[in-house]
Amino acid sequence: MSIFSRIKILSAFELKILACVFMFIDHLGVVLFPEYELMRIVGRLAYPIFAYFIAQGCRYTKNKLRRFLNVFILGVICEAVYVLFMGSYFGNILLTFSVSIILIYVVSKARCEYAKNRLYGGFYFALFAILLTATGFYCKYVGLDYGFFGVMSPVVLTMLDKNFSNTEKSLWYNSQEFSLLLFTCSLILIAVFENLPYYQMYSLLAVLLLMMYNGKKGKYSFKYGFYLFYPLHLLLINGVAMILK
């Protein structure tokens, strides 16, 4: 039994709602209240929760292609709007997560195939290495929100996942605690190496909330609502900013 079992009181729906609130506060701070740094600090809690559930979604989805396309197409639309209004490329978080999803699917395929046939498994591991290298170059020379380690945060949650292989459930490195430890390390790497403000380290506080995840979806799904919230809240905030100018 998990050592955190007594505090597992939050469903996926509740955690996602919290992440949306944190993100909304963060972007309000960026656009309308830049003098209030506390809003940016609160906003650091959003990314880890969304990244965690990107991994969760890849773990349980039945239609992998549709999940990727949902995130990627919306990311492209958001980026096109950003370029149109701001005149520059940003590499928004949905594009970051799109790359994460591809890497998760490839590495999970590699693990499954390697258990059956080492030749096929080796091919997919080689493909994963190529994609990983390409991701590194893209993040360095073009850019994605949260950078290379931001792409990798959801990936590390699934690389040792028992649901993606025939690994025995009892092995210590398949525990939720170990997955969260790897995830925490990835958040530290983001804060240290991705040239972000010092308060990015506050993102580690989100791990405390993730420890409370009870593994349940919650009473409501609101699946596509969470995808749409990202562009809609940005339009709202920037629309208000344009009115106030």
What pLDDT does 166 receive?
47
pTM value is 0.90
* Mean pLDDT in residue range 169-196: 80
Cβ-Cβ contacts under 8 Å for 142 (sequence gap 6 or more): 89, 91
Residue 213's DSSP bridge partners are 10
Predicted confidence at residue 161, as pLDDT, reads: 67
**If pLDDT is split at 50, 70 and 90, which confidence band does 162 have?**
low
CA distance 131 to 103: 7
| Residue (of 2, 12, 3) closest to 209 by Cα position | 12
Examine the pLDDT at 21 and tell me if it is beyond 80: yes
Two tokens, residue 209:
């909330």
At 175 the pLDDT is 64
Q: How confident is the model at residue 111 (pLDDT cuts 50, 70, 90)?
A: confident
Look-up of token digits 């209004």? 85
Query: Given a cut of 90, is residue 116 above it in pLDDT?
Result: no
Q: pLDDT confidence of 187, banded at 50, 70, 90?
A: very high
Range of lowest pLDDT (83-92, 139-148, 203-212):
83-92
**How far, in Å, CA of 221 to CA of 71, rounded?**
17
Taking the CB of residue 3, how many other CB atoms lie within 10 A of it? 10
pLDDT classification of 167: cutoffs 50, 70, 90:
very low
pLDDT at 174: 54
Q: What is the mean pLDDT of residues 101-112?
A: 92
Confidence bin at 226 (pLDDT 50/70/90): confident
Give the residue-averaged pLDDT of 109-122: 85
Q: Mean of the pLDDT values across residues 87-104?
A: 93
Using CA atoms, how far residue 58 sits from 14, 70, 98, 117, 126, in Å, is 19, 12, 11, 23, 21
Q: Which residue has the higher pLDDT, 89 or 168?
A: 89
For position 35, what pLDDT does the model report?
94
Gap between the Cα atoms of 182 and 186, Å rounded: 6
The one-character DSSP state at 89 is -
Mean pLDDT of 105-124: 87
- Provide CB contacts within 8 A for 76, sequence distance 6+: 95
Q: Which has the higher per-residue pLDDT, 76 or 172?
A: 76
pLDDT at position 10 is 93
In this prediction, residues 23-39 reach a mean pLDDT of 95
| Beta-ladder partners of 10 | 213
Give yes or no for a contact between 139 and 147, defined as CB atoms under 8 angstroms apart: yes
